[in-house]
Amino acid sequence: MQTARTVRPVRVLAALLLTSALALAGCSAADDGGGSSSDAKAAAPGAQKGAADSGSASGAKASGAPKLTASAIIRTASLTVQVKDVPKALDDARTTVETAGGFIGNESTSRDARGHERTRVVLRVPSEKYDQVLGDLEGTGKLIDRSRKAEDVTDQVVDVESRIKSQRASVARVRELMDKATKLSDVVSLEGELSSREADLEALLAQQASLKDRTSLATITLSLSETPVKKAAAKDEDPGFLDALAGGWHVFVTLLRWIALAFGAVLPFAAVAALVVFVWVRLVRPRLPRRPAPATTAAPGAVPGFPAPSPAPAQRPAEGREEH
């Protein structure tokens, strides 16, 4: 019984010691965790600052990167406008284009069978003023027809620029080879190659200049025509007495005019004919010698105004009568 009592306090003491050791271990672990967390917190601002620095650096690189090439677009338009005064409208269009920084290209003027004037001009205006000039030209008169077209040639412009760069490098290499060549045959061959490549380069430069001109300046073809005389609106109602009277009077006046024209055309010939007849009757005919009337002998016993009696036929002797 005493042995059991002695063992039990020992066990309790051992349990207390173990619990104290575990508690101390937990506190040290907690202190280590807190220190590590504080270290992580202390390191976090540095990491965030580095991330911010890297972000700002990347942003700086992005802002310093070259911008994309603007789209190259060829803009063309065609306008047909009716105006009352073609020369005045043309002057206004010229002023509008020159104010916008453009110029007038081809110009042609003609008249139709009715005498209406018609002018056709080709206008070149900066692309940024294209819409403004187009609106101003549409307001000069009555718009009859309008067409617009936009062609994107950005790929073509980039391709031409790349080919020009490559061709220039090729020309430079050929020239370097010419400087190093020692044989006459090599020099002659390189000169022919250089001429060919320079001709290709000039063709590309001309194409580039054409694209630049067409993309920087828009083309507007403007047609101006005089406003035709407005015709009286046709009446849907049946014609009345006044309409018939006006139509008859118009026909009568037209007939008189044609008769007057015909009389005027015939009058010179009639005057000449009357003059000829007058001269013949009054001057020429009285002076002509008159022919005497033929004399006739009247038979005895004939009554004037009656024909002369015909003589009696002679009697022939009867047949079979003897002559005495």
* Whether 46 and 147 share a structural domain: no
Is 206 a member of any domain? yes
320 Ramachandran zone, left/alpha/beta (phi>0; psi -120 to 50): left
pLDDT score of 69 more than 70: no
Instruction: Write out pLDDT tens, residues 208-222.
Output: 999 998 999 999 999
Query: What's the mean pLDDT when you consider all of the chain?
Result: 73
Half-sphere exposure of 262 (CA within 13 A, CB side): 6
- Mean pLDDT over 41-54 rounds to 40
* Whether 31 and 153 share a structural domain: no
**Partners of 103 in the β-ladder:** 124
pLDDT score of 275 more than 50: yes
4-34 as b/e, with b when 16 or more CB fall inside 10 Å?
A: eeeeeeeeeeeeeeeeeeeeeeeeeeeeeee
Most confident of the following: 52-56, 221-225, 236-240: 221-225
Which of 70-79, 144-153, 168-177, 310-319 has the least mean pLDDT? 310-319
Alpha carbon of residue 211 to chain centroid: 20
Structural domain ending residue among the three candidates 210, 226, 242: 226
- In this prediction, residue 292 carries a pLDDT of 64
C-alpha distances (whole Å) from 311 to each of 102, 299, 308, 316 are 125, 11, 9, 15
Whats the size of the chain, residue-wise? 324
- In this prediction, residue 285 carries a pLDDT of 75
* Whether 86 and 41 share a structural domain: no
What is the rounded CA–CA span in Å between residue 215 and residue 208? 11
- In this prediction, residue 313 carries a pLDDT of 54
- Mean pLDDT over 86-95 rounds to 90
3-state secondary structure of 166: helix
- In this prediction, residue 289 carries a pLDDT of 74
62-83 as b/e, with b when 16 or more CB fall inside 10 Å?
A: eeeeeeeeeebebbebebbbbb
Q: Are 106 and 98 in contact (CB under 8 A)?
A: no
* Whether 103 and 168 share a structural domain: yes
Domain residues for the domain of 156 are: 73-226
Percent of the chain with pLDDT over 90: 25
* Whether 99 and 197 share a structural domain: yes
- Mean pLDDT over 46-67 rounds to 40
* Whether 34 and 83 share a structural domain: no
- In this prediction, residue 76 carries a pLDDT of 92
What is the rounded CA–CA span in Å between residue 168 and residue 160? 12
* Whether 34 and 132 share a structural domain: no
Is 168 a member of any domain? yes
Which of 45-59, 103-117, 162-176, 263-277 has the least mean pLDDT? 45-59
* Whether 132 and 204 share a structural domain: yes
- In this prediction, residue 70 carries a pLDDT of 58
* Whether 78 and 148 share a structural domain: yes
**Positive or negative: CA dihedral 35, 38, 40, 43:** negative
Percent of the chain with pLDDT over 70: 64
* Whether 20 and 145 share a structural domain: no
* Whether 211 and 82 share a structural domain: yes
Query: Domain tally for the chain?
Result: 2
- In this prediction, residue 266 carries a pLDDT of 87
**Partners of 143 in the β-ladder:** 81
- In this prediction, residue 270 carries a pLDDT of 86
* Whether 151 and 90 share a structural domain: yes
Q: Are 149 and 78 in contact (CB under 8 A)?
A: no
Is 279 a member of any domain? no
User: Which token pair is 269?
Assistant: 């010939």
